[in-house]
Amino acid sequence: MPYPISVSAIDTTLLTRNEARKLRRLELKKYQAYEIIAKFEGTSLEQLFSPEPTRYLCLTNLCFGGVGGITTEQVSEIFNTFDGLAGIRLTHGKPYSFALFNSTASALHARETLHNKPCEFLNGKVLFIEFEFISVELEKSILQDIYSNTAWISVQDRSVIHFGYSFNYDSNEVGLPSLQFPPYVNLLLEKIRKLYPFISNMEQLTVQHYPIGTGIPPHVDSHSSFGPIVLAFSLESPVIMEFKNLQTGVIVNIDLPERSLMILKDEARYTWSHAIRARKSDLLEDGRVRERNKRVSLTLRTINPERICYCKWPNLCDRNIAHLKKDS
């Protein structure tokens, strides 16, 4: 894979000041994406990317996994137009994949054709899953803190605690300022920002305890109340989460392992509902039935101070409701 150019090495002498600023911003985003890949692979940029062209192409911001990724058919439709394609390796939940060619020349031709160009075939939905993001020791410490808390409230068949801000389940809106964040939140956010620099400080935490056999109805986190990124951690046991595209009706099941982190943004955040079906077992892709255990989830969000959303999907957005309430 060709070694990525550094931001400081960009030649902007023939560009206007505004063009140069945009180019540097784009290159910085790409460089941050390369750093994320290196951290996932446990190596350095120098070791991961070759200074000379190779037969391998790294496809940044492309992964497999239903919501948050692409399908094999989509990638094949793109790369089958190039001679010398030997294979494609899609990663699950990681924001990158790989294309292998029979020769360096073939790989270089594909890169020159696709690099820095928009691709009409791709429709990224942006869901990331970090497996074993939380260590066993930290999970134990967090659960001890959670179970010692006495501020639980009952919501349907599960128990809930809110930090930062409360949540009004009747109006489906963020509520008043609530309890301060527990200390473990800073530990989690510090680690997240090392892998995903675009993650900002979170302002609201919802902790939910799911007894065996319980779930949560299909929903989309309030557009007007919350920001563009949602972080969700699974503790104690895994569960299958069901995602439904509100525009097409397509349903995708995602397996969330214990101690994992899920990041929702863009389409996965705004145009797909998510739910956990109330049942005592889950059917896995390999045909096995996995019995459920009790589970704890941590969901972190930012707050929209104006309670108005400006997302790209007005037909699915509650912004009109927010405007009506504001004007009344």
Whether residue 215 is found in the same domain as residue 286: yes
Pairing mode, strands 158-163 and 204-210: antiparallel
How far apart, in whole angstroms, are the C-alpha atoms of residue 129 and residue 239?
A: 13
Residue 184 reports pLDDT greater than 90: yes
How does residue 15 score in pLDDT terms, banded at 50, 70 and 90? low
Whether residue 208 is found in the same domain as residue 68: no
How does residue 227 score in pLDDT terms, banded at 50, 70 and 90? very high
Residue 306 reports pLDDT greater than 60: yes
Whether residue 100 is found in the same domain as residue 243: no
How far apart, in whole angstroms, are the C-alpha atoms of residue 89 and residue 99?
A: 6
> 184-195 and 136-147 helices cross at what angle (nearest 10)?
140
Whether residue 163 is found in the same domain as residue 91: no
Residue 10 reports pLDDT greater than 70: no
Residue 303 reports pLDDT greater than 90: yes
Token pair 């896995």: residue? 284
H helix count then E strand count, the chain: 8, 18
Last residue of a domain, one of 109, 124, 139: 124
Query: What is the rounded average pLDDT of the residues 135-154?
Result: 95
How does residue 61 score in pLDDT terms, banded at 50, 70 and 90? low
Angle at 192 between CA 190 and CA 194, to 5 degrees: 75
What is the predicted pLDDT for the residue at 179?
A: 92
Domain limits at 27?
Answer: 7-124
Q: Bridge-partner residues for 90, per DSSP?
A: 97
How far apart, in whole angstroms, are the C-alpha atoms of residue 34 and residue 157?
A: 43
Angle at 167 between CA 245 and CA 261, to 5 degrees: 55
Could you tell me the two tokens for 95? 């924001």
Report the Cα 284 to chain-centroid distance in Å: 22
C-alpha dist (Å) from residue 261 to 20, 92, 182 = 36, 13, 18
Kindly report the average pLDDT of the chain as a whole number: 83
How far apart, in whole angstroms, are the C-alpha atoms of residue 144 and residue 248?
A: 42
Query: What one-character DSSP code corresponds to residue 9?
Result: G
CATH number at residue 243: 2.60.120.590
Whether residue 117 is found in the same domain as residue 135: no
Residue pair 225/174 in contact by the 8 Å Cβ criterion: yes
Whether residue 187 is found in the same domain as residue 89: no
pTM score: 0.65
Query: What one-character DSSP code corresponds to residue 188?
Result: H
Whether residue 87 is found in the same domain as residue 160: no
Q: Please tell me the number of Cα atoms within 13 Å of 246 on its side-chain side.
A: 17
